[in-house]
Amino acid sequence: MMQWFVVFRRENLENWRNYKWIWIPIVFMLLGVMDPLSTYYLPKIIEANGGMPEGSSLNLHDFRPEDIIMSSLGQFS
């Protein structure tokens, strides 16, 4: 048990010195925000890049908050 505690303390000290307590949650928050934003702005992004070919269509349904949360959580795993 003592060996585990020593390793745990050493890893926590390394994480503290590398600021992982700060930047890892920020990265996960940014990843969580990017998915709904990219889905919302996808039609505008496609139009800005030249549009879609003749005869094709982009039909996105309105997402409920539950759908967005499940989609974001699925990407984290």
- What residue segments make up the domains of the chain, in order of their start? 22-49+61-77
Q: What is the pLDDT of residue 9?
A: 94
Q: What is the pLDDT of residue 6?
A: 94
Cβ 28 vs Cβ 34: under 8 Å: no
pLDDT tens by residue, 5-29: 999 999 999 999 998 888 888 988 8
Q: Rounded to an integer, what distance in angstroms lies between the CA atom of residue 6 and that of residue 14? A: 12
pLDDT tens by residue, 35-67: 888 888 888 888 898 888 888 887 877 878 888
Q: What is the pLDDT of residue 3?
A: 93
Is 0.75 topped by the overall pTM? no
Cβ 41 vs Cβ 58: under 8 Å: no
Backbone phi and psi for residue 35, each to the nearest 5 degrees, phi listed first: -65, -55
Q: Which residues, 6 or more positions from 46, have their beta carbon under 8 angstroms from its beta carbon?
A: 52, 58
| Percent of the chain clearing pLDDT 70 (strictly above) | 100
